[in-house]
Structure 1
């Protein structure tokens, strides 16, 4: 039987990543479909832990979870550890993925982190406080996210289809991806994975903007402006004042893998008085920040954002 000393779960809306480190130092990994934020996210994470342990015939000592869609009321580490305790788990750390994302981006240094994936959440940390901005889901928030960009791209397509908006190369791309445009809304509404499917059109929209499409370029600029506004708002709420040096970092494929998008984001940050440069994450992968949830010092401002349960 395999013994895992630490299992980390990075739960996003587009996918879940799992990484276990065995007592022999071996790394075990797996992936799963994204979390569904319209149902209890920690129950989904518990199911993934159990499936991972079964697949590797493993016991496990510690589990760390950074997950999208985790609300204060749903942060129940005691219930979570109870569901997996029979695997030998004696300690768990549970946090919103903004906290694990921050640790991946900035360690415990003061600064602001933009986690831009299917959704978006911004977390700022100063010596005196912590503030989270957005992360309110696709229905009422996530401004500037992959979903937001994808939705705006598809909205522009339908406006052009109706004659209410400018023509755009996104129309042809949408037809190739989703089929007939007059059926598009029904195709998406009937898809239980519609959030991630709409978010997948983000890359198409950014690529069209990079190629010079005016409609797509406007969407990318608006997304960058929304993110920069959220970054400054979070910093101010956390106790930052204009002129104080701060580390601005980002995690997620949109700002880290698209130089075109990152350039627009840096321009928007500069306009908001944040210097402009987006620093690379200090850790290679977001899941590194999940593992770090178990190690944050009890006196650090971020520690209050992490729920710990011990069996």
Structure 2
């Protein structure tokens, strides 16, 4: 017998054993299934995409397109709300399993933004809830930086710069995790989208005031986007989504970098901050891999060109490679590895928290290492 959504039991029937991967972030929640295990004919990517260059272990292929909630999981007094996550996830999991004709979940991996600092409630409540509702006995709760890393590089030593509204660098030598920055837009995230947007708006305000270091080009761009500069504080400060609003101006900085030395210097400084974080997170020995992931890098060469130069100067021993996938791909890799007993990434209560049924010698060995 297998538990179904809502705790009811249903008779096992022919069908694939699958894993469930979840990516919970600032734009909502995504969930997808993949097959696992040779007995079920697991499909693996053949590595034809340029992004998979050099991968030694191909990524699992999803059985269907992801389902998306579009609503970020709320946070409460104890951090990320387990109840709100389950409220969104359980119907999605039921639909995915019904569409796939699957009755057994081999493992679940939940990647969550803020897990390292806001994950206490998830760690306390999610394992029992998912066992009760879905019959899950192998669960990984994963910081979004780790799913970004695993999606980009898989189970290999190296470092990843993940940059969108915020910025974090994460690396591993496969024995422990090293992270740098990721402290949020008030205390860090240096070089991320909010940081670039704020620096661009500061340069616009300097020009508005007539102070040195201002940029008339960025002032014109800011007035196009936000209206009169004298009204900007009133438009910005009351907002609860200030990091996203600041980051929305980053493309304006990139668009003017070719003609405006102030904009170009902002991106050069952002690149230096990212490279410094990468140097702090990257394994110091060997030839580790280094990948870039996140929406900020869609700004293209105005940011990428100085970043390549800064990385070459600060982490010359690392080899820059394309990212193979995104955080949801990383959650899939972790779920399949957990289900098949091949999870080789280092565990950490804050970054990669694993709960597994007994006996599970592979996970016992990892926990005791």
Alignment partners' CA distance in 2, 1:172 and 1:49: 44
Alignment partners' CA distance in 2, 1:175 and 1:187: 12
Equivalent residue number for residue 227 of structure 1: 274
Indicate if the aligned counterparts of 2:176 and 2:347 stay in contact, CA closer than 8 A: no
1:43-67 per-residue CA deviation (whole Å, 9 max, x = no partner) reads: 3533431463587796984432222
Equivalent residue number for residue 288 of structure 1: 329
Q: Which of 172, 180, 187 is equivalent to 1:133?
A: 180
For structure 1, the 5+ residue unaligned runs are: none
Per-residue deviation, 1:72: 4.9
Distance 1:73 1:27, change over 3 A: closer
RMSD: 3.2
Q: Secondary structure at the match of 2:115?
A: coil
Q: Secondary structure at the match of 2:155?
A: coil
Equivalent residue number for residue 29 of structure 1: 67
1:159-217 per-residue CA deviation (whole Å, 9 max, x = no partner) reads: 221222323322222222222211211211212222212111112211221x3211111
Indicate if the aligned counterparts of 1:247 and 1:279 stay in contact, CA closer than 8 A: yes
Per-residue deviation, 1:149: 0.8
Distance 1:167 1:55, change over 3 A: same
Indicate if the aligned counterparts of 1:232 and 1:274 stay in contact, CA closer than 8 A: no
Q: Which of 107, 119, 136 is equivalent to 2:154?
A: 107
> What's the TM-score, normalizing by structure 2?
0.72
For structure 2, the 5+ residue unaligned runs are: 6-14, 36-61, 358-369
Alignment partners' CA distance in 2, 1:196 and 1:73: 20
Q: Which of 150, 162, 167 is equivalent to 2:215?
A: 167
Equivalent residue number for residue 32 of structure 2: 20
Equivalent residue number for residue 261 of structure 2: 214
Equivalent residue number for residue 11 of structure 1: 24
Equivalent residue number for residue 226 of structure 2: 178
1:52 partnered with 2:92? yes
1:77 partnered with 2:123? yes
Distance 1:125 1:193, change over 3 A: same
Alignment partners' CA distance in 2, 1:188 and 1:108: 41
Indicate if the aligned counterparts of 1:66 and 1:96 stay in contact, CA closer than 8 A: yes
Per-residue deviation, 1:270: 1.2
Out of 116-125 and 62-71, give the one that drifted further. 62-71
Alignment partners' CA distance in 2, 1:264 and 1:202: 16
Equivalent residue number for residue 252 of structure 2: 204
Q: Secondary structure at the match of 1:169?
A: helix
Alignment partners' CA distance in 1, 2:165 and 2:74: 12
1:246 partnered with 2:292? no
Distance 1:142 1:282, change over 3 A: same
Alignment partners' CA distance in 1, 2:248 and 2:87: 26
Out of 25-34 and 197-206, give the one that drifted further. 25-34
Distance 1:47 1:194, change over 3 A: farther
Indicate if the aligned counterparts of 1:266 and 1:276 stay in contact, CA closer than 8 A: no
1:225-274 per-residue CA deviation (whole Å, 9 max, x = no partner) reads: 00001111112xx5x14xx3121111112235613311111001112142
> What's the TM-score, normalizing by structure 1?
0.84
Alignment partners' CA distance in 2, 1:130 and 1:30: 29
Equivalent residue number for residue 309 of structure 2: 267
Distance 1:133 1:168, change over 3 A: same
